[in-house]
Amino acid sequence: MDMLTSLRAPDTTLSFEFFPPKDEDSAEMLFKTVHELNQFHPSYVSVTYGAGGTTRERTRAVVQRIIREAQIPTIPHLTCIGHTRDEMTEILDRYAEDSVKTILALRGDPPRDQPNYDRSGDDFKYASDLVRFIKDHPHPFNIGVAGFPEGHPRTQNRLTEMDHFKAKVDEGADYICTQLFFDNHDFLDYRDRCALAGIDLPIVAGIMPITTHSSMKRMAELAEGSNFPAALLSVLQKAGTDKAAVRQAGIDYAIAQCQGLIQEGVAGLHLYTLNKSGATTEIVRNLNL
């Protein structure tokens, strides 16, 4: 069964996200994680892409190695910023050679060392431009796009946001993977609004467990507008300064969140692993997928 077929099947799929390692030691840790998580037979895994394409070669190397060693369908992320049409064609040609079947098409962020990056010269202004370009490539890639259950950070008007999202989907997207969220009501409302907009695609829920107080604060800074519901804050507060208790409270919350989504018939659960297997393993073992 291919990935898209499995996403439309009655059972909830499972997938994992990794990021390209910076050095050889980190690479070995990553692939140890990949092999440990392969025991759960994920429908696919994905590999992120650095801001402005800064991890282009490292992303491809990870994708190639996962396909070769673990034989898991692997989806590279690809972003608009900083790429010409010729560069994008070369990237897609190489992924076609690697037998990659699906691309996650994103707008992306400018390089962190260029906060005032001028996008006027970019060939791809929006993710919808990239989706259209990938769709026109001779290799028949499936295409995923990002969804935002809590709202897109750059679009405060939720009606306009859905219009823009519908335009992106209509360019040829095949499935949706959401940004992380902590309140299932946000996801379910988003799924309903997609249906009202005539969007009939599988929607995969992005889940990340909070395992430290510092990671939550860092997430709040990076993900503008993130909603940390009182139920989550309460269990973390009760754990106090006990690091093991905080970690367990965050994992238990994520397990409950996933169980609730499964009961609501979510197409898939996509776990952000941070290249570590511990918390992810504990969550998956409690889901009986």
Give the C-alpha separation, 72 to 66, whole Å. 7
pLDDT tens string 76-96: 999 998 889 999 999 999 999
pLDDT tens string 203-230: 999 999 999 988 888 887 766 667 899 9
CA 179 remoteness from chain centre? 6
> Domain 3-285 falls in which CATH fold?
TIM Barrel (3.20.20)
Q: Output the pTM of the full model.
A: 0.93
Whether 17 is catalytic is yes
Give the C-alpha separation, 218 to 164, whole Å. 28
The pLDDT of 15-22, averaged and rounded, is 95
Annotated catalytic residue within 17, 97, 150, 282: 17
Structural domain boundaries of the chain?
A: 3-285
